[in-house]
Amino acid sequence: MSIEVQAKHRVFGGALRYCVHASAATQTPMRFGMFTPPGDGPFPYIIWLSGLTSTEENFTIKAGAYRYAAEAGLAILNPDTSPRGEGVPDRSDSDVGQGAGFYVDATQAPWSANFKMETYVTRDLIATAEAAFPLDAKRRGIAGHSMGGHGALTLAFKHPGLFKSLSAFAPISAPTRSSWGGKAFREYFGADETLWRAHDASLLLERGAGAEFDEILVDVGLADQFWNLLNIDLLEAAAAKAGRKLTLRRREGYDHGYFFVQSFIADHFAFHAARLT
């Protein structure tokens, strides 16, 4: 899959590129950011998944991550959060449609034609980026924020061996038991709630997923304005039941936004670097 580099910026000795390519999964052009640190590679890398309403730009502009990535020798691949463009279905609210792909493969019309974000991330995005840039396919981690935290957890749990490290900020941890997830899943999968369970990180963890990870790192702010929608406690209980090592850090005074992410992104990159480099 060929790509078009639409912009390139020098940052902390490395290179940040904004790219677009055609995705067979979504049947649309898809955008992503690609940061490579100084050097020739091949580089270990992290896929970063962003949250509701975000694009590939939010992380690049707001997370303050590139200094730490450059120092650790980590590349970062961050896709858009959904297909977009003329003819792609959308809704006026932000919980469903463009900007709200939830990193799942929709099965219900009108979403099923384009909203194949699970296949996009785990197949098209990885194949395209690894063919075009000096990335090490054997040293690949995944992380995300909010909806992207949900995506990081569920994609890692559902695709054993694809990722070597896993972390999240304020993930939607049990979407089948949250109005955020319930609204989107009803649109994407229909009314049969048994079909939703395959996309719930807490349920997947409780059933034994995630055994390949020596540790999973999650940060959440105790002043998060969406605390009741995240169901962090259910994730913690599922990890305990399954015997998985979940390091869950509740951060006093921090809310849901990127100031929170900036405050602890260095810890997450150190966590991934210890497992990938």
Superfamily classification of domain 3-276: Alpha/Beta hydrolase fold, catalytic domain (3.40.50.1820)
Buried-exposed string 62-97: b where 16+ CB fall within 10 A, e elsewhere: bbebbebbbbbbbbbbbbbbbbbeeebbbeeeebbb
**Which of 44-53, 124-133, 164-173, 174-183 has the least mean pLDDT?**
174-183
What's the mean per-residue pLDDT of the chain? 97
Active site residues: 146, 224, 256
Strands (E) in the chain, as ranges, are 3-11, 14-23, 28-36, 43-49, 75-79, 135-145, 165-169, 216-221, 246-251
* Range 204-215 average pLDDT: 97
pLDDT at position 212, please? 96
pLDDT at position 40, please? 95
* DSSP structure string for 225-274: TTHHHH-HHHHHHHHHHHT--EEEEEETT--SSHHHHHHHHHHHHHHHHH
* Range 122-136 average pLDDT: 98
* Range 242-270 average pLDDT: 98
* Range 259-267 average pLDDT: 98
- Stronger pLDDT, 110 or 94, i.e. the higher one: 110
pLDDT for residue 235 is more than 80: yes
Write down the residue that tokens 């650790």 correspond to: 72
pLDDT at position 95, please? 86
Give the Cα separation of 107 and 55 in Å (integer).
23
* Model pTM score: 0.97
The token duo for 218 is 């999650």
pLDDT for residue 148 is more than 60: yes
Residues 6+ apart with CB under 8 A from 202: 173, 174, 231, 234, 235, 237, 238
* Range 251-266 average pLDDT: 98
Give the Cα separation of 77 and 139 in Å (integer).
13
If pLDDT is split at 50, 70 and 90, which confidence band does 93 have? confident
pLDDT at position 70, please? 98
pLDDT at position 237, please? 98
Write down the residue that tokens 């719930």 correspond to: 200
Residues 6+ apart with CB under 8 A from 92: none
Residue-wise pLDDT for 23-78, tens only, equals 999 999 999 999 999 999 999 999 999 999 999 999 999 999 999 999 999 999 99
Domain coordinates in residue numbering, the chain:
3-276
Query: Cα dist. 167→82, 144, 198, 224, 235 in Å?
Result: 21, 7, 19, 18, 13
pLDDT at position 147, please? 98
The token duo for 240 is 């305990």
pLDDT for residue 1 is more than 60: no
